[in-house]
């Protein structure tokens, strides 16, 4: 036994030995293909999900049908000449001299029948997609963008900024969403952009709170401090380092809430506060024909005037939910570990 | 590397950082918040081309020091001067520009790289931020940097998770080098890595130092790392320097008692070695309420005896422990040895002699204590304890056994060329110190 140190020497610190040993322990190139970004990987994952792909196909088909239902003319120039819908959705057919009466059952000439004003339901359902779908997508894009910026600022700066912004948010959450939308529409009047505004006003708060929570988590990461140490400005840190790591739950939330917005628009339409009564929006169509559910003329119920617009709402919302679930799985938004990774293969 | 006559590149004076603890708005208003004294008046200088190692145990303020040096956390007080310019007073824009000269390497290479960016973007980011290079020149600079730290330039398009820990740390180093800094603060650069990889990274740091003339501040808890890489070493204890000096001087006597204990704890690979490890009594005190005087006096094996007292050092240490324990405790349970197999016993029912035995057992006190006066005081305190008079026992012990270390906060005393130790043992006012030469 000895009390002297250093009788046995560890020589690993000798630079030469380490250098010459390095190839043994070093990592070797296993593949030489480029790496995939996480969105590419997510898309591959998504494509393997059959129900999500089914939803995606349905939404694409419905969007295309709505787009090509009637010609689109911008400033006198026809940019979209196709017309899949056989009749003008607003046209009252017997007024045009056609041999059509109100509540005509589905037939080859009118596959979805006609409604109480003898309008072609098939044309109206196709064309009505334009309202529901576009409001859904526009509202979600705008609300997600507002919520993202708002939540990012609140979460990143914290302190009294956060405190103030979050109390404003609480104010919005204090109202029942649909009721607030209803009030806004009642005040501003009916119309397409009024609806967009109403749903935007209530919709962004949820995203803001979601993204704030994520950002509170992400901003504690050392790479954020590293960016600060490099001298990066706040804007760069937020949008290059914090937001990309916090955005996955937002994408999932957005895809799921397109359906919610469409339902909301239909609900307002059904309450008579959506678009003008004669417009072909799905919810408004239901409202116009709801008395027929109870009793139609002559004792028979003209089911087609409610089933087809209602079915269209159902089909679209369900497809959007399938897509949202698919995105959720593909991004693994619920499992933090994998979200934190980059172009994992 | 020899210390040059140049003026220091980085000069830190009285750097202090207190964290508010546990205070919500209400607590603050009521004045209930406490301060964690993470860093309490640290001075240091860094000279061009040298490596300053800073060691200390967990929670002693190493990382706080590193981060407040770079103003990543705002210090409560003190100045940090880079080439004469005070960083704590610099404007945001000026500070941003100065970050080109002072860089930081992080402890955890798994957390300090953004998983969403490719390696090329991570290393290229400082180039974008400071408009150093664009387009072709940027790509060239990135691959240069990757080559410099021993990575393949083809790796620029990969993501961080595709690399091993050592390689990631190399990426972190390349990122710090991108702005061509003068000073790099390394916060435990190798503690998250395998031992075999640690050596590679330390050698890389040494190579880069000689190639680019860098100055390093290396934070570590591993003394062998510091011994390997540092020119000078500072030993931190509870937010203050206990000892600072050239590496070989710190690793040799004279020692600060804390540094001596740390050094004795370095593992030795020799199975035939039986060194005398110094075990410190007690826990690290809370930085919420650091000890008075010398912060190490609660655990110091060489705590100074008051004038006129001359007892065995181990007995003195035990009596100090008992006094300290009495100060924070209010039940007999805290000052008596635990008897195995007995639970929930009523200590108040113990006889005077039984209590005596148990207290002596807990603190390792002999019976009787070698010093007669001390034995008398101990007896009086025990009488009070037996009567349940805690306050009286506390007073008796505190009055009789008070070390100068409790009263005086030692300054850093010069003990050699550029070697300073914050311990009263090295103060000329206490000339009869027993272990001046270790």
Highest mean pLDDT among A14-28, A189-203, B384-398: A189-203
Rounded to an integer, what distance in angstroms lies between the CA atom of residue B277 and that of residue A5?
12
Q: What does the block give as tokens for B148?
A: 């410099």
A-chain residues near B97 (CB < 8 A): 231
Structure tokens at B61: 């303020």
DSSP A130-153: HHHHHHHHHHHHHHHHHHHHHHHH
DSSP state of A316: H
| Beta-carbon separation of A241 and B100 below 8 A | no
pTM: 0.78
Q: Does A3 score more than 50 pLDDT? A: yes
> What's the longest Cα–Cα distance across chain A?
116
Structure tokens at B302: 């060489």
pLDDT of residue A28: 52
Closest chain B residue to A8, measured at CA: B270
Q: How far is B90 from chain A (nearest CA, A)?
A: 13
Does B100 contact A at CB distance below 8 Å?
Answer: yes
pLDDT value at residue B341: 65
Q: Please indicate if any CB of chain A lies within 8 Å of the CB of B392.
A: no
Cβ atoms of residues B40 and B240 within 8 Å? yes
Give the C-alpha separation, B308 to B310, whole Å: 6
Question: In the A/B pair of chains, how many CB contacts fall below 8 A?
Answer: 123
DSSP labels for A69-109? SS-EEETTEEEE----SSS-TT--GGGGT-S--TTPPP-SS
Place B436 in a pLDDT band, splitting at 50, 70 and 90: very low
Lowest mean pLDDT of B61-65, B163-167, B185-189, B415-419, name the range: B415-419
Among the residues of B70-118, which ranges form H helices? 92-98
- Chain A residue with the nearest C-alpha to that of B228: A13
What is the tens place of the pLDDT at every residue in A221-234?
A: 889 999 989 988 98
Q: Measured in Å, how far apart are chain A's first and last C-alpha atoms? A: 55
Mean pLDDT of B240-250: 89
Query: How many other CB atoms are found less than 10 A from the CB of residue B394?
Result: 19
pLDDT, mean over chain B: 83
Rounded Cα gap, residues A309 and A124, in angstroms: 9
B122 min Cα distance to partner chain A (Å): 9
Query: Is B258 within 8 Å of chain A by CB?
Result: no
In the predicted structure, residue A101 carries a pLDDT above the cut 60 = yes
> In chain B, what percentage of residues exceed pLDDT 70?
91
At residue B390, the pLDDT reads: 79
Chain B contact for A345 (CB, 8 A cutoff):
no
CB < 8 Å to A5, chain B? 266, 268, 270, 273, 275
CATH code linked to domain A49-67+120-335: 1.10.3720.10
Neighbouring C-alpha atoms within 13 Å toward the C-beta of B72: 27
Whole-number pLDDT of residue A11:
61
Interface list for B 33-92 with A (CB within 8 A):
67, 70, 72
Q: Inspect the interface and report whether the beta carbons of A230 and B160 lie closer than 8 Å.
A: no
Q: Which of A10, A229, A232 is closest, CB to CB, to B104?
A: A229
B269 with A4: Cβ contact below 8 A: no
Q: Which of B167, B293, B171, B42 is nearest to A25 (CA)?
A: B167
pLDDT tens digits, residue range B337-346?
776 666 666 7
Two tokens at B139? 């790509």
**Are B114 and A241 an interchain contact pair (Cβ–Cβ within 8 Å)?**
yes
* Angle at the Cα of B197 from the Cα atoms of B191 and B201, rounded to 5 degrees: 75
DSSP-based three-state secondary structure for B111: coil
Confirm if B46 and B215 have CB atoms less than 8 A apart: yes
In which region does residue B13 sit, left (phi positive, over 0), alpha (psi from -120 to 50) or beta (all else)? beta
**A232, two tokens:** 């990066």
Residue B165's nearest CA partner among B191, B132, B131 is B191
DSSP conformation class of A299? G
Are residues A2 and B274, on separate chains, in Cβ contact within 8 Å? yes
Quickly state the pLDDT bin for A60 (edges 50, 70, 90). very high
Beta strands B232-237 and B51-55 are: parallel
Residue of B nearest to A19 (CA): B200
Q: What mean pLDDT is predicted for residues B214-220?
A: 92
Q: Is the pLDDT of residue B387 over 70?
A: yes
Is residue B59 pLDDT above 70, yes or no? Answer: yes
**Do the beta carbons of residue A203 and residue A195 sit within 8 Å?**
no
d(CA B86, CA B81): 4
- Start-to-end C-alpha separation, chain B: 27
Determine contact, residues A130/A66, Cβ cutoff 8 Å.
yes
Q: Where are the alpha helices (DSSP H) in B251-389?
A: 257-264, 313-328, 352-363, 372-386
Q: Measured in whole angstroms, how far is the alpha carbon of residue B149 from the centre of its chain?
A: 29
Q: Does A336 touch chain B (CB under 8 A)?
A: no
Per-residue pLDDT, A336: 41
How far apart are the C-alpha atoms of A156 and A214, rounded to whole Å?
10
For residue A13, the chain B residues in CB contact (below 8 A) are: 199, 202-203, 228
Residues of A in contact with B202 (CB under 8 A): 13
**Cβ burial, residue B307 (10 Å; 0-12/13-18/19+):** exposed
Question: Which of B22, B52, B56 shows the shortest CA–CA distance to B36?
Answer: B22
Place of tokens 């708002």: A150
* Residues in chain B within 8 Å Cβ distance of A219: none
Q: Tell me the shortest Cα–Cα distance from A206 to chain B, in angstroms.
A: 25
Chain B contacts in chain A segment 24-53 (CB below 8 A): 25, 27, 34-35, 38
**Other C-beta atoms within 10 Å of B187: how many?**
24
Closest chain A CA to residue B162? A344
From chain B, pick out residues whose CB is under 8 angstroms from the CB of A38.
116
Spatial neighbors of B312 by CB under 8 A, at least 6 apart, are B370
Q: Is B1-101+181-293+410-438 assigned to CATH 3.40.50.300?
A: yes
Nearest to A10 among B100, B104, B269 (CB): B269
Whole-number pLDDT of residue A35:
58
Instruction: Kindly give the residue spans of alpha helices, DSSP state H, lying in B240-365.
Output: 247-250, 257-264, 313-328, 352-363
**Do A154 and A208 contact (CB within 8 A), yes or no?**
yes
Q: Which among A2, A10, A223 has the least Cβ separation from residue B111? A: A223
- Provide the residue ranges of all domains of chain B, joining segments of one domain with +: 1-101+181-293+410-438, 313-402
Q: Residue A265 has what pLDDT?
A: 86
Among B103, B117, B159, the residue to mutate for chain A (most A Cβ within 10 A) = B159
Note whether A241 contacts B: Cβ–Cβ < 8 A.
yes
Q: What is the mean pLDDT of chain A?
A: 80
CB proximity list for B60: less than 8 A, separation 6 or greater: B236, B237, B238, B239, B284
Name which of A230, A239, A343 to mutate to probe chain B: the one with the most chain B Cβ atoms within 10 A of its Cβ.
Answer: A230
**Which of B72, B97, B199 lies nearest to residue A225, judging by beta carbons?**
B72
Evaluate if residue A332 carries a pLDDT over 50: yes
Residues of chain A with Cβ-Cβ distance to B70 below 8 Å are: 229
Beta-carbon contacts of residue A331 (< 8 Å; ≥ 6 apart): A38, A42, A248, A251, A252, A339
Contact B112 A223 (CB under 8 A): yes
Residues A45/A56, Cβ–Cβ less than 8 Å: no
The dihedral formed by the CA atoms of B287, B288, B290 and B296, expressed in degrees to the nearest 10:
-30
pLDDT value for A61: 92
What was the pLDDT predicted at B437?
Answer: 39
- Closest by CA position to A262, among listed A332, A211, A312, A323: A312
For the beta carbon of residue B140, count every other beta carbon within 10 angstroms.
12
Nearest-by-CA chain B residue for A7: B270
Q: Are A342 and B179 in contact (CB < 8 Å)?
A: no
The domain locations on chain A are 49-67+120-335
* pLDDT, position A259: 84
What pLDDT score does B395 carry? 84
The count of other CB atoms within 10 Å of the CB of residue B92 is 11
- Residues of chain A contacting B67 with CB distance shorter than 8 Å: 225
Between positions 281 and 310 of A, the ones with CB within 8 A of B are none
User: What is the model's pLDDT at position B32?
Assistant: 65
User: What's the rounded Cα separation, in Å, for the pair A203 and A205?
Assistant: 6
Confirm or reject contact between B254 and chain A (CB < 8 A).
Answer: no
Nearest CA in chain A to B124: A230
């Amino acid at each position: 036994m000895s009390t002297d140190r250093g009788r046995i020497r560890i020589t690993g610190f000798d630079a030469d030995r380490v250098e010459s040993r390095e190839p043994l322990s070093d990592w070797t190139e296993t593949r030489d293909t480029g790496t995939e970004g996480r969105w590419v990987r997510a898309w591959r994952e998504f494509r393997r999900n059959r129900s999500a792909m089914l939803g995606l196909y349905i939404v694409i088909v419905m969007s295309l049908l709505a787009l090509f239902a009637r010609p689109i003319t911008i400033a006198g120039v026809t940019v979209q000449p196709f017309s899949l819908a056989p009749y003008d959705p607003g046209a009252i057919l017997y007024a045009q001299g056609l041999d059509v009466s109100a509540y005509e059952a589905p037939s080859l000439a009118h596959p979805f029948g006609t409604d109480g004003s003898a309008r072609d339901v098939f044309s109206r359902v196709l064309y009505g997609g334009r309202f529901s779908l576009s409001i859904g997508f526009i509202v979600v894009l705008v609300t997600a963008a507002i919520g993202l910026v708002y939540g990012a600022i609140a979460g990143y700066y914290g302190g009294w900024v956060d405190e103030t912004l979050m109390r404003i948010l609480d104010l919005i959450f204090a109202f029942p969403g649909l009721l607030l939308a209803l009030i806004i529409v009642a005040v501003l009047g009916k119309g397409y952009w009024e609806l967009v505004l109403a749903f935007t006003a209530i919709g962004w708060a949820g995203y803001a709170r979601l993204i704030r929570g994520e950002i509170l988590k992400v901003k504690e990461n050392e790479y954020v401090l590293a960016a600060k140490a490099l001298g990066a400005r706040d804007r760069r840190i937020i949008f290059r380092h914090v937001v990309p790591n916090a955005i996955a739950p937002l994408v999932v939330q957005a895809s799921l809430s397109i359906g919610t917005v469409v339902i909301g628009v239909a609900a307002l339409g059904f309450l008579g506060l959506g678009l003008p009564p004669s417009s072909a929006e799905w919810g408004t169509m239901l409202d116009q024909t709801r008395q027929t559910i109870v009793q139609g003329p002559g004792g028979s119920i003209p089911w087609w005037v409610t089933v087809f617009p209602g079915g269209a709402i159902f089909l679209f919302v369900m497809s959007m939910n399938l897509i949202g679930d698919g995105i959720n799985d593909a991004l693994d938004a619920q499992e933090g570990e994998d979200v934190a990774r980059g172009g994992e293969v | 590397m020899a210390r040059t006559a140049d003026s220091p590149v980085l000069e830190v004076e009285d750097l202090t950082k207190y964290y508010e603890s546990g205070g919500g708005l209400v607590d603050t208003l009521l004045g209930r918040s406490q301060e964690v004294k993470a860093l309490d008046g640290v001075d240091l200088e860094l000279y061009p081309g040298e490596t300053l190692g800073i060691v200390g145990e967990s929670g002693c303020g190493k990382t706080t020091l590193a981060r407040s040096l770079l103003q990543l956390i705002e210090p409560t007080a003190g100045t940090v001067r880079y080439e004469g310019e005070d960083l704590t007073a610099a404007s945001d824009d000026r500070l941003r520009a100065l970050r080109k000269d002072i860089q930081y390497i992080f402890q955890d290479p798994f957390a300090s790289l953004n998983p969403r960016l490719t390696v090329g973007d991570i290393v290229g980011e400082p180039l974008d931020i400071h408009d150093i290079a664009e387009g072709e020149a940027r790509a060239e600079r990135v691959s240069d940097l990757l080559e410099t730290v021993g990575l393949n330039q083809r790796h620029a398009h990969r993501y961080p998770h595709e690399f091993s820990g050592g390689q990631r740390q190399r990426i972190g180093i390349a990122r710090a080098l991108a702005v061509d800094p003068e000073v790099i603060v390394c916060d435990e650069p190798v503690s998250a890595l395998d031992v075999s990889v640690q050596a590679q990274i330390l050698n890389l740091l040494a190579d880069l130092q000689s190639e680019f003339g860098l100055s390093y501040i290396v934070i570590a808890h591993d003394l062998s790392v510091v011994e390997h890489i540092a020119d000078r070493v500072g030993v931190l204890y509870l937010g203050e320097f206990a000892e600072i000096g050239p590496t070989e001087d710190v690793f040799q006597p004279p020692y600060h008692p804390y540094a001596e204990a740390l050094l004795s704890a370095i593992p030795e690979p020799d199975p035939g070695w039986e060194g005398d490890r110094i075990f410190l009594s007690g826990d690290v005190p809370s930085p919420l309420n650091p000890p008075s005087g010398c912060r190490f006096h609660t655990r110091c094996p060489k705590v100074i005896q008051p004038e006129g007292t001359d007892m065995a050092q181990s007995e003195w240490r035990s009596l100090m422990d008992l006094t300290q324990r009495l100060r924070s405790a209010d039940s007999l349970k805290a000052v008596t040895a635990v008897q195995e197999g007995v639970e929930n016993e009523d200590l108040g029912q113990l006889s005077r002699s039984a209590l005596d035995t148990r207290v002596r057992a807990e603190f390792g006190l002999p019976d009787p204590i070698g010093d007669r006066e001390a034995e008398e005081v101990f007896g009086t305190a025990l009488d009070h304890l037996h009567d349940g008079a805690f306050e009286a026992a506390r007073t008796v012990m505190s009055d009789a056994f008070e070390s100068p270390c409790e009263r005086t906060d030692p300054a850093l005393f010069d003990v050699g060329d550029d070697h300073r130790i914050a311990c009263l043992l090295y103060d000329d006012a206490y000339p009869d110190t027993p272990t001046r030469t270790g």
